[in-house]
Chain A
Amino acid sequence: MFRIKNKFNAERDISGCGLCGIINAKKIKTNGSDIKKSISVEHDRGNGLGGGFAVYGNYPDYAELYAFHIMYDNLSAKADVEEYIKNNFIIEKEEPIPTFRTSKIYDHPYLHRYFIKPKSDRPDKLFHELGDDDFVVNSVMLINQNYDGAYVFSSGKNMGAFKGVGYPEDIADFYKLEEIEGYMWTAHNRFPTNTPGWWGGAHPFTLLDWSIVHNGEISSYGINKRYLEMYKYNLALKTDTEVITYILDLLIRKHKLPISLALTVLASPFYQKIDKMDGEKRELFTALRQIYGSALLNGPFAIVFGHSNGMVAMNDRIKLRPLVAAAMGDFTYVASEEAAIRAVCPSPDIVWSPKAGEPVIVEFEEKNIHQKGGLLGL
């Protein structure tokens, strides 16, 4: 029997993994076959208990709407959640997420997607003046926490997560990713070590248009979690990836830090380096550590973080997990293993191994152009 939530009696879900990402800085779209090929090279980094993808630019016709991907394990949960959505959102379109029976994924939740926007006169307006993004975040947390049998696994605009329990290449077939097009892809192959697989636990983990795939185990999870709880984040999933996503949400969306600075919170430079910086910079980095020490991700990780303006890949502050990057024309590739990149781009212009804590940041060159009329967005 499949599961969509972490109901195992584990305080947190621990896993090892493989990951990769492909981005085209000019927003030229490709279909999902490359990312599938790339992640399948890392087959042995997972154990069949979780695979997933995030794609950006796949819903150009609904680019202004929040695309909710929700998994249900029973239909009455669906009815309850839809009641909530109807009361609070305008639904432009809703439909089952197209899936294709393969021999490998025979057991799966009911998967449905909704293109929606928060109502301007929704009931909570009586109590708050929340912006749409904040309201969406609250709704996602509310559904994931309070609605048994339902789990929102994607909620951004013009992007989507496609994931499940299985090897990533099988998940790719299950969702037929070769028929989906996007200008940025990330993928993940999971090796959970303390829980059986659960559909919600597969990566990417997403919130609004952010997606994270992550390889590692955050040794500072305990304090990262308590720190986020102080800012009223509810850590329902008990995964490291959830922690990373929320920290980025807090730093970038709520505290308005530039992405580059937010990343130095996750893998902050050592004091021995900070002390050698000059005047203002030293002050800034010291303050960053003083204020955000509890948000430092300590322990091994490599992450690929996708957002509407681009992609970031980075390692922990002493590089305890593998991460390789390569560039070829407008394409940038990142992966746990160089072989995964060479499988789809045999001779890139450059290949390098990013240093500990130094992020690879790729931003789209034309951020504001909406690509309308993609082939198979829906």
Chain B
Amino acid sequence: MTKSSFSNIQSEYLALIDHNKCVRCKRCIQNCGWGTYSFGGDKILADHSKCVACGRCYTYCPEGAISIVKNPTVLRENANWKEGLIKNIWRQSETGGIVISGMGTTFKYKKYFDHILLDACQVTNPSIDPLREPMELRTYLGKKPSRLDVGLDENGEPVLKSKMPPQIELQTPFVFGAMSYGSISLNAQKAMALAARALGIVMNTGEGGLHDDLVPFGKNIIVQVASGRFGVHRDYLNSGVAVEIKIGQGAKPGIGGHLPGEKIGADISKTRMIPVGTDAISPAPHHDIYSIEDLRQLIYAVKEATDYEKPVSVKVAAVHNIAAIVSGIVRAGADIVYIDGYTGGTGAAPNIIKDHVGIPIELALAQVDERLRDEGIRNEASIIAAGSIRSSADAVKAIALGADAVAIGTAALVVMGCHVCGKCNTGNCSWGITTQRPELVRRLDPEVYGERLYNLISAWSHEIQEVLGAMGVNSIESLRGSRERLRGVELTDAELKALGIKHAGL
């Protein structure tokens, strides 16, 4: 078929320039990764069709001359034939392709965290002032024996009889979620590594291998093994504090990944151990895992390769039968299970998957925690909850629902300037985050954003301490799984039951 260049799709946003204010410094031209701006001889011109509302230009315009507005030109409103649906039909009829985007779903599903309220002490038990009393957030991730094995030494003092399985020590119950070098820039990874080290927490390499520059951060890194097995070798497995086997991702359960060849430059090629310019394809399943017993083999292969010195984490997307799946994963020998809810982010995923597959992390987490307790194996593995933890309040609620720690992905990118425009898949991120273009990557200063990440997680940790104090406890383990401190509002009986919490007032 011959291609028509005509498109039905109107620009979503308008990049408006106040030419009276504009001093023609051309910073907007330089800053926009999508090439929206050009210089028309005497003034700045904007190609609205290219604008994705990533917010870079107006942030850096010295004169405040730019405003990005939603294109006011309307499609006739129709609650059934929504604008997005119509535009997708046009888009797909033009390209014949799958609609792909970055970040998490933009659909307006119910956010359960927003329907959960926290408890506080009044009179019968006192609240505790975090400014005066210690408030402990330290968290250990890894398998815990169900009981302590103690003996007595020659003086009759109790001593440990058997060593504890390996644990990851976190000073605060946050980790940075897996984002690979390739899907994000090295500078973005470095910012997280610096912050993780300063905070006493960990970041996660994602499936793209470990760049040489990050090797010194090993004590604060979880290395990932995904279906593409990029950059995996013995030293890699031993270079972090834990190894994560990635089975699935909340934004795209059941499907793999594809980093196009044009993004595979020399550096990424070296880190991922694939030739320059080849597509990096992560198959949908691991081709050596077709069953739970296969997963067990891989878990133990990794443990063998790391001398049983590192906890092994398994990352899965929250899908319908998640409780039984996680139970199987724990029984297969995982020390940590990372559960990623359906609103989690991604570098690129088909919208059909992102918007329609998976379940909310709140429900998944509650069910998993309950199931593991029912089976008496909750101590066998720690749980990391992820899938758009947007605030310390979300973190507190996730921990009370049963998580040991929460993972921060999108929020960390937002720290680096991300405006959640959802165009990560294009590789043009103006903020230097999800791009490999050197001129864009350069602008992301790891030191500056490392410090901001540190600030954010410190601030959230202080907020958690405030909540703990208000609840009258001084240690995070007294919150973990304590659903009695949660109440639901505007939830149905079925929802409350799935969350394992009571309605407010009861």
Chain A residues near B (Cβ < 8 Å): 11-12, 14-16, 193-194, 216-223, 225-227, 229-232, 254-255, 257-258, 260-261, 268, 270-272, 280-281, 283-284, 286-294, 296, 298-300, 317-318, 320
Contacts and interface: CB of A to CB of B under 8 A. Distances in A.
Secondary structure call for the B interface: loop
A261 B479 CA distance: 23
B138 interface: yes
Given A280-B160, A284-B150, A223 B479 contact: yes
B331 interface: no
Contact of A222 (B136, B376, B477, B484): B484
A223 B158 contact: no
Contact of B373 (A226, A254, A286, A288): A226
Q: What is the size category of the interface that chain B forms with chain A?
A: 35 or more
Interface of B: 121, 123-126, 128, 133-134, 136, 138, 140, 144-148, 150, 152-153, 157-160, 164, 167, 373, 376, 378-379, 471-475, 477-485, 502, 506
A16 B167 CA distance: 39
Contacts of B482: 220-223, 226
Contacts of B474: 298, 317-318
Residue from A12, A216, A222 having most chain B Cβ neighbours under 10 A: A222
Given A219-B125, A222-B484, A290 B472 contact: no
Contact of B378 (A193, A230, A299): A230
Nearest to B479: A223
Contacts of B121: 219, 299
B158 A258 contact: yes
Contacts of A300: 125-126, 472
A194 B123 CA distance: 12
A231 B376 contact: yes
B484 A221 contact: yes
A15 B125 CA distance: 9
B130 to A, nearest CB: 12
B373 A280 contact: no
B473 A222 contact: no
Given A223-B479, A291-B379, A298 B472 contact: yes
Contacts of B159: 280, 284
Given A280-B160, A296-B475, A317-B474, A291 B481 contact: no
A216 B124 CA distance: 8
11 contacts: A219-B471, A223-B477, A223-B479, A227-B481, A230-B378, A230-B379, A254-B147, A280-B153, A281-B157, A287-B148, A317-B474
A223 B481 contact: yes
A220 B478 contact: yes
Contacts of A270: 134, 136
Contacts of A258: 150, 152, 158
A73 to B, nearest CB: 27
A182 B446 CA distance: 71
